[in-house]
Protein backbone atom coordinates (compact mmCIF):
# COMPACT_ATOMS: atom_id res chain seq x y z
CA UNK A 1 0.00 0.00 0.00
CA UNK A 2 2.73 2.43 0.94
CA UNK A 3 4.72 1.66 -2.19
CA UNK A 4 1.61 2.17 -4.28
CA UNK A 5 0.91 5.55 -2.66
CA UNK A 6 4.46 6.60 -3.57
CA UNK A 7 3.94 5.58 -7.16
CA UNK A 8 0.68 7.45 -7.44
CA UNK A 9 2.34 10.58 -6.04
CA UNK A 10 5.10 10.33 -8.63
CA UNK A 11 2.64 9.86 -11.48
CA UNK A 12 0.30 12.64 -10.44
CA UNK A 13 0.10 15.99 -12.18
CA UNK A 14 2.98 18.36 -11.37
CA UNK A 15 2.23 20.46 -8.29
CA UNK A 16 3.32 23.99 -9.00
CA UNK A 17 3.23 25.11 -5.36
CA UNK A 18 4.47 22.02 -3.53
CA UNK A 19 5.52 23.70 -0.29
CA UNK A 20 2.60 26.11 -0.02
CA UNK A 21 0.22 23.36 1.07
CA UNK A 22 -3.48 24.01 0.59
CA UNK A 23 -2.97 27.56 -0.66
CA UNK A 24 -5.49 29.12 -3.02
CA UNK A 25 -4.20 31.47 -5.72
CA UNK A 26 -7.57 33.16 -6.30
CA UNK A 27 -8.00 33.88 -2.59
CA UNK A 28 -4.49 35.34 -2.63
CA UNK A 29 -5.47 37.57 -5.53
CA UNK A 30 -8.42 38.88 -3.50
CA UNK A 31 -6.26 39.34 -0.40
CA UNK A 32 -3.72 41.65 -2.06
CA UNK A 33 -6.66 44.01 -2.65
CA UNK A 34 -8.28 43.50 0.76
CA UNK A 35 -5.01 43.91 2.69
CA UNK A 36 -3.99 47.04 0.79
CA UNK A 37 -0.94 45.62 -1.02
CA UNK A 38 -2.30 47.24 -4.21
CA UNK A 39 -1.80 50.69 -2.68
CA UNK A 40 1.97 50.21 -2.87
CA UNK A 41 2.48 47.57 -5.57
CA UNK A 42 1.46 46.98 -9.18
CA UNK A 43 0.02 43.52 -10.03
CA UNK A 44 -0.52 42.21 -13.57
CA UNK A 45 -4.20 41.33 -13.01
CA UNK A 46 -5.22 44.33 -10.88
CA UNK A 47 -6.20 47.33 -13.01
CA UNK A 48 -6.57 49.78 -10.16
CA UNK A 49 -5.05 50.93 -7.95
CA UNK A 50 -1.55 50.47 -9.29
CA UNK A 51 0.60 51.54 -6.38
CA UNK A 52 4.08 52.82 -7.02
CA UNK A 53 5.55 53.25 -3.57
CA UNK A 54 6.95 49.70 -3.63
CA UNK A 55 8.44 47.73 -6.54
CA UNK A 56 6.14 46.39 -9.27
CA UNK A 57 5.28 42.73 -8.65
CA UNK A 58 4.15 42.06 -12.22
CA UNK A 59 7.01 39.64 -12.85
CA UNK A 60 7.54 38.54 -9.28
CA UNK A 61 7.07 34.82 -9.93
CA UNK A 62 10.26 34.81 -11.97
CA UNK A 63 12.30 36.88 -9.56
CA UNK A 64 15.19 35.20 -7.73
CA UNK A 65 15.41 37.41 -4.66
CA UNK A 66 12.97 39.13 -2.31
CA UNK A 67 13.91 42.75 -1.60
CA UNK A 68 17.25 42.04 -3.25
CA UNK A 69 18.49 39.83 -0.45
CA UNK A 70 16.27 36.88 0.54
CA UNK A 71 15.86 33.76 -1.60
CA UNK A 72 12.43 33.82 -3.28
CA UNK A 73 11.12 30.59 -1.75
CA UNK A 74 7.61 29.93 -0.40
CA UNK A 75 8.59 29.63 3.28
CA UNK A 76 10.68 32.80 3.20
CA UNK A 77 8.08 34.72 1.20
CA UNK A 78 5.33 33.71 3.64
CA UNK A 79 7.27 35.31 6.48
CA UNK A 80 8.17 38.36 4.43
CA UNK A 81 4.64 39.30 3.29
CA UNK A 82 3.28 39.39 6.83
CA UNK A 83 6.32 40.83 8.59
CA UNK A 84 8.85 42.33 6.20
CA UNK A 85 10.70 44.43 8.84
CA UNK A 86 11.53 41.24 10.78
CA UNK A 87 13.14 39.76 7.64
CA UNK A 88 14.71 42.90 6.18
CA UNK A 89 15.51 45.40 8.94
CA UNK A 90 14.94 48.98 7.87
CA UNK A 91 12.71 48.09 4.93
CA UNK A 92 9.93 50.50 3.92
CA UNK A 93 7.50 47.59 3.56
CA UNK A 94 5.30 47.51 6.68
CA UNK A 95 4.25 44.43 8.65
CA UNK A 96 0.73 43.41 7.57
CA UNK A 97 -1.19 41.19 10.01
CA UNK A 98 -2.38 37.96 8.38
CA UNK A 99 -3.40 34.48 9.42
CA UNK A 100 -1.20 31.55 8.35
CA UNK A 101 -3.76 30.64 5.71
CA UNK A 102 -3.87 34.19 4.34
CA UNK A 103 -0.07 34.31 4.16
CA UNK A 104 -0.08 30.96 2.29
CA UNK A 105 -2.70 32.18 -0.19
CA UNK A 106 -0.87 35.46 -0.83
CA UNK A 107 2.41 33.55 -1.27
CA UNK A 108 0.88 31.12 -3.79
CA UNK A 109 -0.56 34.07 -5.72
CA UNK A 110 2.74 35.99 -5.76
CA UNK A 111 4.78 32.97 -6.89
CA UNK A 112 2.72 32.48 -10.05
CA UNK A 113 2.83 36.13 -11.14
CA UNK A 114 4.09 36.91 -14.59
CA UNK A 115 3.33 39.70 -17.05
CA UNK A 116 0.08 39.34 -19.02
C1 LIG B 1 3.14 51.00 2.53
C2 LIG B 1 3.50 50.38 1.25
C3 LIG B 1 3.50 48.87 1.13
C4 LIG B 1 2.46 48.01 1.37
C5 LIG B 1 1.07 48.32 1.91
C6 LIG B 1 2.94 46.70 0.98
N7 LIG B 1 4.22 46.77 0.52
FE8 LIG B 1 5.30 45.25 -0.25
N9 LIG B 1 6.91 46.47 -0.39
C10 LIG B 1 6.92 47.83 -0.13
C11 LIG B 1 8.25 48.36 -0.33
C12 LIG B 1 8.69 49.79 -0.14
C13 LIG B 1 9.05 47.25 -0.74
C14 LIG B 1 10.56 47.23 -1.04
C15 LIG B 1 11.20 46.60 0.17
C16 LIG B 1 12.70 46.57 0.15
O17 LIG B 1 13.28 46.42 -0.93
O18 LIG B 1 13.27 46.63 1.24
C19 LIG B 1 8.17 46.10 -0.79
C20 LIG B 1 8.56 44.82 -1.19
C21 LIG B 1 7.70 43.78 -1.41
C22 LIG B 1 8.06 42.52 -2.02
C23 LIG B 1 9.45 42.18 -2.58
C24 LIG B 1 9.51 42.80 -3.95
C25 LIG B 1 10.84 42.64 -4.63
O26 LIG B 1 10.94 43.08 -5.79
O27 LIG B 1 11.78 42.11 -4.05
C28 LIG B 1 6.95 41.76 -2.06
C29 LIG B 1 6.81 40.35 -2.61
C30 LIG B 1 5.89 42.52 -1.44
N31 LIG B 1 6.37 43.73 -1.07
C32 LIG B 1 4.60 42.05 -1.28
C33 LIG B 1 3.61 42.76 -0.60
C34 LIG B 1 2.33 42.21 -0.26
C35 LIG B 1 1.84 40.81 -0.62
C36 LIG B 1 1.66 43.18 0.43
C37 LIG B 1 0.30 43.08 1.07
C38 LIG B 1 0.13 41.99 2.02
C39 LIG B 1 2.52 44.34 0.47
N40 LIG B 1 3.70 44.04 -0.15
C41 LIG B 1 2.16 45.55 1.05
C42 LIG B 1 5.84 48.59 0.28
C43 LIG B 1 4.60 48.08 0.62
Neighbours of 79 (CB within 10 A): 16
Q: How far is the CA of 15 from the centre of ligand 1 (A)?
A: 26
**56: pLDDT strictly greater than 60:** yes
Q: What per-residue confidence (pLDDT) applies to 12?
A: 47
What's the pLDDT at 19?
52
The pLDDT of residue 17? 45
Residue 20 pLDDT:
66
- CB of 66 closer than 6 angstroms to any ligand 1 atom: yes
User: What values do phi and psi take at 69, rounded to 5?
Assistant: -145, -15
- How far apart CA 101 and CA 44 sit, in angstroms, is 23
Neighbours of 3 (CB within 10 A): 7
CA of 2 to the centre of ligand 1 (A): 43
Mean pLDDT within 83-97: 97
Domain boundaries, the chain: 22-111
Q: Which residues, listed in sequence order, are joined to residue 65 by a DSSP beta bridge?
A: 71
Say how far apart CA 99 and CA 113 lie, in whole Å.
Answer: 22
- Computed over every residue of the chain, the mean pLDDT equals 87
| Ligand 1 pocket, residue 61 CB under 6 Å | no
Centroid of ligand 1 to alpha carbon of 42 (angstroms): 10
**pLDDT for 115:** 80
Higher-pLDDT residue of 11, 36:
36
* CATH for the stretch 22-111: 1.10.760.10
How far is the CA of 27 from the CAs of 19, 23, 72, 101, 108, in angstroms?
A: 17, 8, 20, 10, 9
Ligand 1 site, residue 95, Cβ cutoff 6 A: no
Amino acid sequence: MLALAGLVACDGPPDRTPTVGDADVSRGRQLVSDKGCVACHTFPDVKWPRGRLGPSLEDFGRQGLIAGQLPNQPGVLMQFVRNAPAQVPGTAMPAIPMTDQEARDVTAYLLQLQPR
